[in-house]
Each structure stands twice: as C-alpha cells, then as structure tokens.
Structure 1
Amino acid sequence: MTTVLLHGFGLLGSSLARALKQDPTPVTIIGSDQNPAQLEYAQAHQLVDKVSQGLDLVPQADVIILATPVDQIKQTLTELAHRSLKPGTIITDVGSTKQSIVTASQALATTPAVFVGGHPMAGSHKTGVRAGRADLFENAFYFQTPQTNAERNAAQQLQRLLAVTRAKFVTITPARHDFLVGQVSHLPHVLAAGLVNQAQQTLQSDPLGLRVAAGGFKSMTRIAAADPTMWQSILLNNGPVVSAQIATYMETLQRIKTAIDDQDGNALLAYFQRAQQTRQQLEQHDDNRGAGFYDLFLDIPDQPGTLAHITTLLAEQHLNLVNLQILEVREEVNGILQLTFSTAQDAQTAATWLAPDYHIVRRK
C-alpha cells in the first residue's frame, strides 16, 4: 500500500486527500499542517489515516506532496534534506511557481529521494480545508517539470497515483511554466486586486459604493478574494516575469487612455474587436470539447427555487450532469447558468426538457 504524506491541508491539499480517498486502490494518507484546526477537521472527516507533527512521519512516506505557499515549500525542501527518507521516495509540490522551487529542490541531491515539480491549474477563491473538493482537479491542466530520467519516471508514477483526480498532466520546463502562468494567472490576480482596491477607494464616500457592483465587475474580480499570503508568496517568487508583464499591460492601458483622450473611435473599436475575437477563439478552443464535454447555457431568473427546479428535471431524466456554474448574476436581473454534460445526447435531451421553461442562450 502506498503511503502519501500531504504537507498542508488547505484547499489543494485537502482536495487531493479527498480524491485519493475515492481511489479503489487503498492509499494511506498522513496529514501535516501547522494549523491544528485543519488537521482536526481532516481527521473528523476521515481525510487522513495518521497525523504527523511537522515532518516527524516522513520516514514512513512513499510519496510526499507539499501543498503550502511557495516560500514554505522551499523551506520544507531544505528541511527534508536533513530527514531520514525512504530510498526512492517521491517528493512533489503543488506550488504556483516552479523555477524557485526546482532550484530549492537541489538541496535533496544527496538524499535517496526524487523531486518532481508540480502545479495543478485548479483552485478557488475559497480557502482552507473545508473548501476542498474531490473533483477540484477534474479536467484541469496539471503541470509537471521533470528534468532527468529519474524524475520522468517519478512523474509517471505520480500520474498513476493521481489518476483518480482526472487531471490532464502536461510536462513543461520550469521557465516556460512561470512565463505562461504569469500571463494567464498571476497577472490577472494582480489586476483583479487592483480593480477592487481602486473601486473601494474611489467609491468609499458614495453611499451606493460597491453595492451597485454588477455581474461583470464581480466576475472579473472574483479571484481577488483568494488567500493574500499565498499570492504574496507567488509574486515574490515569480517577480521578474510578472513585473515585465505588468509593464507591458501598463503600455496597453496608456494606449487606450490616449485613444480615449484623443476621441480616436477607430482605435477604440479595434481594441474591443480584437479582444472580442480572441475571447471567442478561447471559447472555441475550450478543452471541454477535447475532453468530451458538452455545455448548455440557460438564461435563468434570479429567484429562489430555480436551480432546484432545473436539477430536479435533469435528475428525473437520469442525465449525467458533470458541472454547473452561474455566470454574470446580478440581483433582480436574469443570469446565465452553464450546464456541462458528458455526452452530446445528454446535452440535447436536457435542452429539450428545459426549453419550455427556460431560454437556451447557446450550446457548445
């Protein structure tokens, strides 16, 4: 039986534990977290089989997964270099930056362990052990950064262990990883936080203030609710990349500001047309299709009982609903409900049964 030590029982760590507990192949999970309350919850909900005080039980582990903020991961790698480890122990992480972590993993060079950098592109603005979900990583890209044959072998072993998560594993270099996630994850978090902070400061003297914030603002800034400590650590460890991307974005903002000041309608139209086309292409190339999923978008009223009515209709038809998500919801205004199905037939059947009561916006 494989013994996995999960160090860090926040959103990602507890989600991995939940997924592993659903695997038909038995896995022993050792939990470790500096917050006793996190581990108490994990024990009460049978997410762990044992609890480790710090790293005391690492000699028992076949696999060690580090699921703490980036700076703590780096510190733990240094500590593990001075611990007794099983020959062939695989150590990995779920940190959002890779170059600094891979560099820190060099401390393990004289140990019998093998380190493979990892990063599942999944998360939530919710934090802590209670926010964990067994399906959090389903169909999410899961980056791995093996650089030697031993690391590539270890990466394959991790893929087999974590197959229950249904993540899509991608091999990538640490540098390319940090550049890509800097643009599509780290920079957007900076911008979301900036928009929220600016709105709060600008509207603090207005009695309506943020109360009038509509779906667009809330959707765009949802990620600003994420763990501040985690994002402080991410930006400090991917600083040069994100700093350069912020500078480029500032140039873009300056160009659009100039177009507004100059009343340059052509430039403004081209700016939004380009964004619209790129965003539409993003949806067209959405990996849901490649994964065999089919989306249905409904225009629904924002009133009690709507979701219950829809899910009841689907359940009565025995349809396999993979996921549902509410998009751009505002008070007293209709919202968009995205329903995801595993087959085209289920999506078509759902549309047939829902169409009499709800407007089908589009299908994908």
Structure 2
Amino acid sequence: MKKEVAVVGLGLIGGSIALAIKKAHEDVVIKGFDVNDNQLELAKALRVVDETASSLEEAVKTADVIIISTPVVQTEMILDQLSELVLKKEVIVTDVGSTKHSIVEHAKNRLPTNVTFIGGHPMAGSHKTGVSAAKPHLFENAFYILTPEKGVGGDKLTELKDLLKGAKATFVELGAEEHDYLVGLISHFPHVLAASLVNYVSSNNQNEGLNVARFAAGGFRDITRIASASPVMWRDILLRNKRVLLEMIDDLKEELGRIRTHIECEDGDEIYSYFADAKDFRDGLPVRSRGAIPAFYDLFLDVEDEPGVIAAVTQNLASEDISITNIRIIETREDIMGVLRVSFRSESDRDRAKLVLDTYFKTYIDD
C-alpha cells in the first residue's frame, strides 16, 4: 500500500518539498491543498502533486504524513483545525516555520496524543516565490532543522528523515528554544538591522537638500538587500520570536556603545581591533555552506560604458544556456570592483558564467 503525504500550502517551499519526495519515493502519493485555487491547479498541472484536495479535511484524512508549509500564524491556525478532525492513527505532522517554540507548544496543546508532531525548518529559499519556482534541489546541502519534543520516538524521526531524503539536506536536531535563539541571531536579527538601517537612511533622504537615495547604491544597497523581504512574513516572525529579539536589541545597544566610546575617545588601536575582529570572524565563515539567509550569486564585470555592451554579455551567456536573474549598472561603486553586476540563481551558474565572460571581460566574484 502506498504511503500518502498531504502538503498543505503549495508555494516555493511546499512545492519543493513535494518534488524532493517524489524524486526519492515512487511509492508515495502526494495530495496537495492550498487556499489559492490558482496555485493548487498549477501544482497539479506541473505535476508537483499527484492529487489535489478541495478542503483541508479532504487533504489530510487518510494521510500518513502531513506537511504544513505556510507562514507561522497560518500554521498555528491549521494546527487548530487539525485538532478538530479525525486523522489517521500514528500520523506524523511537521511544518516549515522559521520560528519553532510557539508552534511546538501550540501543537503540544492542541493535537491529540496519537499524533506525532516534529517541528521542521528547511533553511533555504529563493528570490522567486510560488509553486512555479519549486525545484527538488532547493534544499540540497542546506541545513534542515528538526525540533522533536522529548518522548518522540526515534522511529518516527527516522521515518520523517527518510521521507525527506530526496531533499539532500543536512538534518540537524535542536530544541525549539535553541533553534529560535540560533535563527534569531543569524537570520531574524540581521533582517531587523537591515530594515532599521534603510529606515534611518530614508529618514535622512532629503536632509539639507541632498538626495541620499541617489548615492545609496553599491555597497549600501547590497548589505540591505534582505530589507526587501515580505513585511507580512517578518511581522509574524518577529512577534513569534519576541523574547529572543528584544534581548538581542538590548545587547546591540551595548555593542554600539563600545564602538561609540572608541570613536569618542579617538582610540585608534581599539577602533582598529574592532574592525579587525569583525573581519577575522567574517572571513572565517564557510564560503560554500548554505545558511539561514539565502545567498546571492553575483558577478561584477569591469566593462566600458558603450553601446552594445549589455547585449554582448547576455548573448554570450545565452549561447551557453546560462540564465541570469538580474543585471544592473552600478553608479556608486565604492568598495566594488566592476561597473556591471550580473546576478545568477545558483553558484554553479555564476561559476560557469565567469568562465564564459572572462574571455571577453574582466570579472570579479562577490563572496
């Protein structure tokens, strides 16, 4: 008898998980459900799922595993709905939310004892959204964190990992609170900083007649890219990871106080050490590992501003069947080598492009 998996929420993440399961298991039937009928129909047309359901109850009633792939707030609402339905005995329920403590507690309080809930967080994403952007290798070599509660049997954990093996992710088991602190530190908090920096610059945009936005390109635009993320998503994440982020904001005040004191006292040695320590830690980070914040694969080209240069770049890449996600001429180039930035969807595409374009232009890789 074939195992049945219900995927609730057919966006980029849910669709990619479905494709990864299909790739590794021919004996699994995937039934999809989404409140967006267009996404649901598209998922079936693209063969991301085998069957579709017109309601949550229809999707989950015979499922052996239920994967909730929705934003955190919606996930808690779906857990409430599941608690009122008759589910298959010994069913496994998991999610993909980037905060875990609130969801794990909600599941513990709401789901019946014969249901095994294992929190999940695949730490990968894309600049694209929707099921049409789903791909089975989205999570390859990325961390996939699982947060099983004490008492969850090892057989259930093994069953879930085996189901998800097609994702080719690195599974890591953490406690829910440990997860929220870790992800808060290296993902949630950086998004807060990026948004704060952008808002600070925005508030000074027309200060003393200067159009700051015109010059806030180059490095500034790059280090604040994540501020363009979904406001709805980040509202929900910050509210669900409130305690951790409030502590980090207080700690940052002390950290800024340190460098403020060094500047005020004109202590050159301490200022040097401050930046040297940051450089050493940053330079020691793994280059090829995939972390909590999606990577950007950029190539900078040293080209002359002349007619046809962009066409030459795109034509050479097209001849090798290399797709680009963005191309931009950079006016403010402080600390950036090259005048043209070309962005790619993967590291392999960028590396192939460098080989092609090195023949015609001098290129620089952004790490």
Q: Normalising TM by the smaller chain, what interval? A: 0.7 to 0.9
Count of residue pairs brought into register by the alignment: 344
Separation (CA, whole Å) in 1 of partners of 2:354 and 2:224: 31
Q: Does 1:41 align with 2:48?
A: no
Amino acid at match of 2:196: G
Tell me, yes or no, if structure 1 residue 114 matches structure 2 residue 116. Answer: yes
Instruction: Supply the distance in 1 between the matched residues of 2:203 and 2:19 (Cα, whole angstroms).
Output: 40
CA distance in 2, matches of 1:133, 1:97: 23
SS of residue matched to 1:145:
strand
Which of 221, 241, 245 in structure 2 is aligned with 1:242? 245
2:81 pairs with 1:79: yes
Tell me how far apart the structure 2 counterparts of residues 98 and 67 of structure 1 sit (CA, whole Å): 13
The CA deviation at 1:92 is 0.2
How many angstroms apart in 1 are the aligned matches of 2:328 and 2:173? 34
Inter-partner Cα distance in structure 2 for 1:244 and 1:271: 22
Following TM superposition, by how much is the alpha carbon of 1:360 offset from its aligned partner in structure 2, in angstroms? 6.5
SS of aligned partner of 1:52 = coil
Distance 1:155 1:53 in 2: 28
CA RMSD, Structure 1 to Structure 2 (Å)? 3.4
Query: What's the secondary structure of 2:79's corresponding residue?
Result: helix
Alignment-derived partner of residue 330 in structure 2? 330
Comparing 207-216 with 248-257, greater Cα deviation is found at: 207-216
Tell me how far apart the structure 1 counterparts of residues 205 and 355 of structure 2 sit (CA, whole Å).
45
Asked if 1:123 corresponds to 2:125, the answer is yes
Please state how far the C-alpha of 1:354 moved relative to its aligned partner.
6.3
Tell me whether 225-234 or 181-190 shows the greater mean CA deviation. Answer: 225-234
Q: Which amino acid aligns with 1:174?
A: A
Equivalent residue number for residue 167 of structure 2? 165
Mark the CA change 1:92 to 1:251 in structure 2 (over 3 Å): closer, same or farther: same
Equivalent residue runs for 1:1-364 within 5 Å? 1-23=2-24, 25-48=26-49, 49-107=51-109, 110-148=112-150, 150-203=152-205, 208-283=211-286, 286-287=288-289, 299-301=300-302, 303-306=310-313, 309-310=316-317, 312=319, 330=330, 333-335=339-341, 340=347, 356-359=359-362
Alignment partner of 2:224: what SS?
Answer: helix
Query: How far apart in 1 are the matches of 2:78 and 2:157?
Result: 20
Report the residue type matching 2:36 in the other structure.
N
Alpha-carbon distance in structure 2 between the residues aligned to 1:353 and 1:333: 18
SS at match of 1:57: helix
**How far has the Cα of 1:142 moved from its partner?**
0.2
Note closer, same or farther for the CA distance 1:80–1:52 as it changes in structure 2 (3 Å cut): same
C-alpha change, 1:139 and 1:78, in structure 2 (3 Å) is same
Report deviation, 1:266: 2.4
- Cα distance in structure 1, aligned partners of 2:23 and 2:214: 42
C-alpha distance 215-145 of structure 1, shift in aligned 2 (>3 A):
same
For 1:147 and 1:239, the matched residues in 2 are separated by 21
Q: 8 Å contact 1:30–1:52 — kept in the other structure? A: no
Describe the SS at the equivalent of 2:149.
coil
Cα distance, 1:16 vs. partner? 1.8
Change (3 A) 1:50 1:109: closer
- Deviations along 1:205-231, one digit per CA (max 9) or x if unpaired, are 767442433232222222222222221
The offset of 1:13, in angstroms, is 1.5
TM-score (norm 2): 0.80
**TM, length-normalised to structure 1:** 0.81
C-alpha separation in 2, matches of 1:327 and 1:263: 42
| Contact 1:125 1:223 (C-alpha < 8 Å) held by counterparts | no
CA shift for structure 1 position 180 = 0.5
Query: Conserved in 1, the CA contact under 8 Å of 2:5 and 2:67?
Result: yes
Residues 210 and 130 of structure 1: CA distance in aligned 2, closer, same or farther (over 3 Å) = farther
Letter in 1 for 2:45: A
Q: Which residue of 1 aligns with 2:335?
A: none
Deviations 1:133-172, CA, capped at 9 Å, x for gaps: 3322111100001234544322221211111111111111
Rate the CA distance shift 1:124–1:247 in 2: closer, same or farther, 3 A.
farther
SS at match of 2:164: helix
Q: CA deviation at 1:70?
A: 1.3
Alpha-carbon spacing, 1:86–1:142, altered in 2? closer, same or farther (3 Å): same
User: Structure 2: where are the runs of 5+ without partners?
Assistant: 291-296, 304-309, 332-337
List alignment gaps of at least 5 residues for structure 1: 289-295, 316-320
Query: After TM superposition, what 4+ stretches of structure 1 lie above 6 angstroms from structure 2?
Result: 323-329, 336-339, 349-354
> How far off its partner does 1:340 sit?
4.0
Cα shift readout 1:112-142 (whole Å, capped 9, x = no counterpart): 2211110011123544434433322111100
AA partner of residue 22 (structure 1):
K
In 1, the alpha carbon distance for the partners of 2:28 and 2:210 equals 55
Partners of 1:262 and 1:269 in 2: how far apart?
13
On the 8 A contact 1:126/1:226 being kept in 2, the answer is no
Moved more, 214-223 or 183-192: 214-223
Q: 1:227 to 1:355 in 2, by over 3 A?
A: closer
Shift of 1:258: 3.3
